[in-house]
A and B are shown apart, each in its own frame.
Chain A
């Protein structure tokens, strides 16, 4: 250490480490740098606070018991049970929405990227997807309620005497909530398709393959990571949405099946989000402990999904061509 001291005194940073310092920058730049740094730190603190607080409160109240017992309507909180039904509800709704959104989104993306003619129609489809992406979910929910209470859709949900259609069910909510995931699937798939150089498509045509064969056997396998990314992002959004389950799923405490085939899907239920809302001080319930525990489970699900997104997109580098 002391040997290097004379060098330091001369202001020599050494041959291998060029001097880098913002000390010589104009003041405006230094303030800007400071603000940018502070903004990043602030976000870290906020994210850390959410996760740590939910971890603390969640683990405090969470028990295995809560995960596997059904919720009951009871004034006495010790007898109101756990949140098994909302967990199943979230899973069902997420799966249902994804099953609808993924093929629809991939198909739309393929059409936009590989065909997209006439171009005015492509622009129309594009803005249609943008509108769907920008619509608040409560608006989607109200619109869905309007549609699915029509007599035409009576087979999707409970009906009352006099043929009044309830319009709230897993199928109805799943159909509308798929619109939340759809833009993510379309976006990620298009991005992946556009990243495939055109000579890869031409190589397939040059072997005498049709466009359809090229899409099915070359392009779709190549964009699978992109589809996975978009789908996982969309699943996270579905799992976290509250407005549609409240308005279109009935937000009941327990799953309630309709008599007949696929009764549960045609019946009402609740999700973790509606359960948290109902039990928190924001809703009517007064069981904040259970709300915290359920919120923690929900956060865990969403964080895991995002982790999955990272994993998928990192694997993407294996399939890459030179442009």
Chain B
């Protein structure tokens, strides 16, 4: 047991993360944030309260389902018999301490885990009632795209970064004019078009880190995926860029199912509709966000969300 963990008999210490929960109802419904859309100048905590208010009573359509999913690297079990639904219309956050298998779980959803030679998988992953193992992997990955922890635009222009995914391989390359509406649409959905509309031909690697990450999101959205996976997409970014990406994800959840791995509990609280707490490869608790942060069922989740260990 972690020596820092308080004795269980004692009432929970007043955790900083709880304060945000307790205060959110008192926050005035932040009309400014709702109308201008980008939350300029809004401290992210208050914006979170606004998003939280929108969350009540959401019920999405199930797009993916994990059934008894187990993944091991060699002999080491990384994910142990996890079953989870992934729904469109909501953000699912995977939380848990480092090495608990959240990233492994995420990478298995688009079979990226197969790139790791030692990884082996059991159980089923269904996408719209179709086993992902039966699907052609490039088709699967166009339906389930991913954004990574580090911004990683390709060494080409902003336009070509987005167009890259749109160009079917092998077939004749569509001309720029044909792709332009889709490229612009993807940039607009990622909230980046206004900043880069003048310089679509500039190298993408010259953008700032936050812009690069939104470009990566735009790139992943351009192929019109059904599920968007994000592996700690904001952990390398400053608070302002983080807030913009969080706003973006909340907006996107109606058109695409979103699964996000995050180390940042406040972030999970701000944007998620459901939270899955993983611990040592097990799914410890899966609950609506309010319940996970307000009244977690297990002692371990309660300790984790209150910050007793991390």
What are 28 contact pairs spanning A and B, CB under 8 A?
Answer: A200-B154, A202-B148, A203-B148, A203-B152, A203-B216, A204-B164, A205-B112, A206-B141, A206-B146, A206-B148, A207-B142, A207-B145, A207-B223, A208-B139, A208-B140, A208-B142, A208-B165, A208-B223, A209-B169, A217-B156, A218-B154, A218-B164, A221-B154, A318-B205, A319-B203, A320-B205, A321-B205, A322-B236
B138 within 8 A of A: yes
Judge whether B165 and A207 touch: CB under 8 Å: yes
Instruction: Chain B residues near A222: list those with CB within 8 A.
Output: 154-155
A27 within 8 A of B: no
A136 within 8 A of B: no
Q: Given A202-B112, A203-B146, A322-B150, verify A213-B169 contact (CB < 8 Å).
A: yes
CB of A210, distance to nearest CB on chain B (Å): 6
B206 within 8 A of A: yes
Judge whether A321 and B141 touch: CB under 8 Å: no
Number of interface residues of B (CB under 8 A): 31
CB of B259, distance to nearest CB on chain A (Å): 13
Residues of A within 8 A of B (CB): 197, 199-200, 202-210, 212-213, 217-218, 221-222, 318-323
Q: For residues 92 through 126 of chain B, which have their beta carbon under 8 Å from a beta carbon of chain A?
A: 110, 112, 115
Complex CA–CA separation, A306 to B149 (angstroms): 38
CB of A201, distance to nearest CB on chain B (Å): 8
Complex CA–CA separation, A74 to B27 (angstroms): 99
Instruction: Chain B residues near A212: list those with CB within 8 A.
Output: 169
Instruction: Chain A residues near B220: list those with CB within 8 A.
Output: 206-207
Given contacts A205-B115, A210-B169, 19 further A-B contacts (CB under 8 A): A199-B150, A202-B148, A203-B152, A203-B154, A203-B219, A208-B138, A208-B145, A208-B223, A210-B138, A213-B169, A217-B156, A221-B154, A221-B155, A222-B155, A318-B203, A319-B203, A321-B151, A321-B152, A322-B236
Complex CA–CA separation, A319 to B155 (angstroms): 6
> Which B residue sits closest to A218, measured CB to CB?
B154
